[in-house]
């Protein structure tokens, strides 16, 4: 099924093996970003970006101080690409039956050739599997057509999140591509601190401020459907009791989040408008329930407009 504008169906059960392999490849980029980029609040230095080519790191300082490097999963050419700011470039094929371990070793080899030894923690994070990335022969399914369908869906989803974030007048993240949970998300902040609620490294550093997060994922074993989601941190009592628009949006107790399934979005005449309505409704509800400055909630709706014209 393809919705108006080319929004594709991406049934998780049809591509979950390729999904896991692609997820594992993004972990390699994320580990490099986490190790090389200057640390930022809420672990923003470790986030990746979805671009017109695929998943990319931001420019990362080269360990030998020769410039910067960017590592990309090019989902059109189906390559992992390592590029140096001086113009050097190396590519590694992402191919059917090419295991994650081999791709990881080849990417690290290309980086070492360019900039010298790179510190790299091969242990995957937030995944159901634990085999080190450079030893992973389990994940070797890569269907280029399925990756293309995912990338098209992710691109449309990212456009929704960007439209949500654009008019917001508080601090906000870009549309981040998170390699741990393999999702896209934008976070809007109130400016107030928050109790992380746990002492583990990720929550201690990523959840220390009040936020509303809205995102999209392609499905995983916990929730095997592509969906938009939203949550507030910290969430007050009763936060889970709202009815959000559009039809189909609901609180998912097992996830602790509001969700709107991708299939419900692409079944409408206006998928972008439907998804954006959910995102804005989630922010309005969270701002009200969490007692944010009403002006922040209003700014998501474009009041005042971000740009005034004569």
Please tell me whether residues 24 and 148 are part of one structural domain: no
- Is 273 within 8 Å of 5 (Cβ atoms)? no
Q: Are residues 245 and 207 in the same domain?
A: yes
Domain boundary among 135, 169, 189: 135
pLDDT at residue 18 greater than cutoff 60 = yes
Question: What pLDDT, on a 0 to 100 scale, did the predictor assign at position 3?
Answer: 65
Residue 53's pLDDT band (cuts 50, 70, 90):
very high
Question: Residue 40: in which H helix or E strand, if any?
Answer: none
Confidence band (pLDDT; 50, 70, 90) for 118? very high
Helix (H, G, I), strand (E, B) or coil at 90: strand
Q: Write the pLDDT tens digit of every residue in 244-278.
A: 999 999 999 999 999 999 999 999 999 999 999 99
Task: Check residue 198 and give its pLDDT.
Answer: 82
Asked, for residue 219, whether it belongs to a domain, the answer is: yes
Q: 77 to each of 24, 135, 145, 153, 188, how far by Cα in Å?
A: 18, 24, 12, 17, 34
Residue 135 has pLDDT above 90, yes or no: yes
Question: What span, in angstroms and rounded, lies between the C-alpha atoms of 74 and 80?
Answer: 6
* pLDDT tens, position by position, 166-182: 999 999 999 999 999 99
Note whether residue 74 is domain-resident.
yes
Domain ends where: 78, 108, 135?
A: 135
Retrieve residue 36's tokens.
């090389």
Sign of CA dihedral 178, 8, 273, 73: positive
Burial class (CB in 10 A: 0-12, 13-18, 19+), 208: middle
- The verdict on 121 and 203 lying in the same domain is no
Domain boundaries, position 288: 144-300
Contact 165, 175 (CB under 8 A): yes
* 308 within some domain: no
Provide CB contacts within 8 A for 75, sequence distance 6+.
53, 54, 55, 147, 148, 150, 151
Domain count, the chain: 2
Q: Is the pLDDT of residue 1 over 60?
A: no
Question: What is the mean pLDDT of the segment spanning 198-223?
Answer: 92
Same domain, 116 and 230: no
Contacts of 87 (CB under 8 A, 6+ apart): none
Residue 202 shares a structural domain with residue 265? yes
- Do 92 and 239 fall within a single domain? no
Residue with the larger pLDDT of the pair 206 and 59: 59
**310 assigned to some structural domain:** no
Q: Among 68, 66, 65, which residue's Cα sits nearest to residue 33?
A: 68
Judge if 30 and 85 occupy the same domain.
yes
Could you tell me if 171 and 189 are in contact, meaning their C-beta atoms sit under 8 angstroms apart? yes
Query: Is the domain of 195 the same as that of 158?
Result: yes
The answer on pLDDT for 242 being more than 60 is: yes
Mean pLDDT for the chain?
Answer: 96
Q: Is residue 281 part of a domain?
A: yes
pTM of the model as a whole? 0.96
Same domain, 271 and 218: yes
309 in a domain, yes or no? Answer: no
- Proportion of the chain above pLDDT 90, given as a percent: 92
Structure confidence at residue 47 (pLDDT): 98
Output the pLDDT for position 4. 64
Same domain, residue pair 123 and 151: no
- Contacts of residue 139, Cβ cutoff 8 Å, sequence gap at least 6: 20, 21, 24, 99, 100, 129
249 and 158 within one domain? yes
* Residue that terminates a domain, selected from 79, 107, 135: 135
Instruction: Supply the pLDDT for residue 6.
Output: 83
CB 114 within 8 A of CB 69: yes
In a domain, 305, yes or no: no
Q: Are residues 168 and 239 in the same domain?
A: yes
pLDDT at 309 over 80: yes
Q: At a CB cut-off of 8 Å and minimum separation 6, what does 247 contact?
A: 264
pLDDT tens digit string along 148-205? Answer: 999 999 999 999 999 999 999 999 999 999 999 999 999 999 999 999 878 788 888 9
Is residue 153 assigned to a domain? yes
Instruction: Check pLDDT > 80 for residue 134.
Output: yes
pLDDT the model gives residue 40: 94
CB 155 within 8 A of CB 184: no
The residue whose two tokens read 């390592």 is 82
pLDDT in tens, 62-102: 999 999 999 999 999 999 999 999 999 999 999 998 999 99
């Amino acid at each position: 099924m393809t919705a108006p504008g080319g929004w594709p169906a991406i049934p998780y059960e049809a591509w979950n093996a390729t999904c896991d392999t692609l997820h594992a490849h993004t972990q390699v980029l994320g580990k490099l970003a986490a190790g090389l980029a200057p640390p930022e609040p809420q672990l923003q230095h470790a986030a990746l970006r979805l671009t017109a080519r695929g998943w990319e790191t931001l420019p990362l300082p080269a360990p030998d101080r020769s410039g910067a490097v960017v590592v990309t999963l090019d989902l059109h050419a189906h390559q992992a690409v390592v590029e140096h700011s001086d113009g050097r470039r190396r590519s590694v094929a992402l191919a059917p039956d090419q295991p994650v371990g081999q791709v990881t070793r080849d990417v690290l080899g290309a980086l070492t050739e360019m900039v010298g030894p790179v510190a790299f923690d091969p242990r995957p994070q937030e995944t159901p599997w634990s085999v080190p990335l450079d030893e992973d022969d389990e994940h070797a399914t890569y269907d280029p057509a399925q990756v293309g369908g995912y990338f098209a869906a992710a691109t449309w989803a990212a456009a929704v999140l960007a439209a949500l974030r654009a008019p917001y007048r508080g601090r906000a993240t870009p549309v981040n591509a998170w390699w741990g949970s393999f999702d896209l998300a934008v976070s809007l902040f109130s400016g107030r601190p928050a109790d992380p609620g746990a002492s583990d490294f990720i929550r201690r550093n990523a959840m220390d401020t009040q936020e509303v997060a809205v995102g999209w994922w392609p499905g995983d074993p916990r929730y095997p459907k592509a969906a938009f989601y939203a949550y507030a941190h910290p969430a007050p009592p009763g936060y889970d009791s709202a009815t959000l628009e559009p039809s189909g949006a609901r609180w998912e107790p097992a996830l602790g989040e509001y969700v709107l399934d991708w299939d419900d979005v692409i079944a409408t005449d206006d998928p972008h408008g439907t998804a954006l309505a959910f995102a804005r409704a989630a922010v309005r509800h969270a701002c009200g329930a969490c007692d944010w400055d009403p002006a922040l909630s209003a700014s998501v709706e474009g009041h005042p407009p971000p740009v005034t014209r004569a």
